[in-house]
Amino acid sequence: MPTNSFSDDFSGKTALVIGATSGIGRAAALAFAKAGANVVLSGLGEEQGRAVVAEIRDLGGQALFVEADVLNEADIRNVVTKAVDRFGRLHMAANNAGTEGSFGPVQDATSEDFDRIIGINLKGIFLGMKYQIPHMLEHGGGAIVNTASSAGVTGIANVAIYTASKHGVVGLTKATALELARSNIRVNAVAPGPVDTGLLARMIEGKMDSSVIAESVPMGRISDAGEIAGAILWLCSDAASFVTGHTLVADGGLTVG
């Protein structure tokens, strides 16, 4: 599996990663730190969050963990407040918290499934931006990246609610980008295909082997979380200074056809 590094320099900047205790979020937090940024990370699980902070400090970086539930508006407001209190400014935000849906036909899903998946995957991103944007407006700009999915740009059978939530992330990202286009705040999304994370493992558990999914990808493999983190950092960087409202699909060609 390739290991991507990112050469841009984020020294003196602060990145907030929501949903950073595992998977893509953890990889993004570490990548921001390696690129010189101060990192504020949030999620559920204080032990896991503090472990990521320890990794960042071992790299010589500065980090703060704030436990937060993305469905709790007060928690998300508190994360942004503590980020600003600690580092003075929020330059970049990656809204990454997400959950899988149960694998099966839509008629077998419950109303509780719908509320949970849409709540975490879509409302959670809305709440993140709701509190990140006013700070960025006050301080002259910033960059936001929301984690969607290849399921946000195409239909995927047997994960209908998850697919709907990720389509919602893409639409929310586009509309918000237009609202902020003259305010020096860029809003983009990253749309990963299958990634070697706990979310994928839970989604397919007892249904299929990961090798079957790998074979469905034109590149013949599942991606590493670090590859998606690299896409997130690029979207936050000056190299993407004229990119907003875009959904960067990183899926090994899965949705090309």
Q: Output the pLDDT for position 205.
A: 65
Q: pLDDT exceeding 90 applies to what percent of the chain?
A: 85
Q: What average pLDDT score do residues 24-51 get?
A: 97
Closest CA to 237 of 11, 24, 3: 11
Sketch out the chain's domains with CATH numbers.
14-250 (3.40.50.720)
Torsions phi, psi of 98, nearest 5? -160, 165
Non-local CB neighbours of 119 within 8 Å, separated by 6+ positions: 71
Q: What token pair was written down for 146?
A: 């929301």
**Looking at 28, 162, 168, 251, which residue is catalytic?**
162
pLDDT tens string 55-111? 999 999 999 999 999 999 999 999 999 999 999 999 999 999 999 877 899 999 999
pTM of the model: 0.93
Of 23-27, 207-211, 242-246, 250-254, least confident by mean pLDDT is: 207-211
> Does the annotation count 131 as an active-site position?
no
Confidence of residue 5 (pLDDT cuts 50, 70, 90): very low
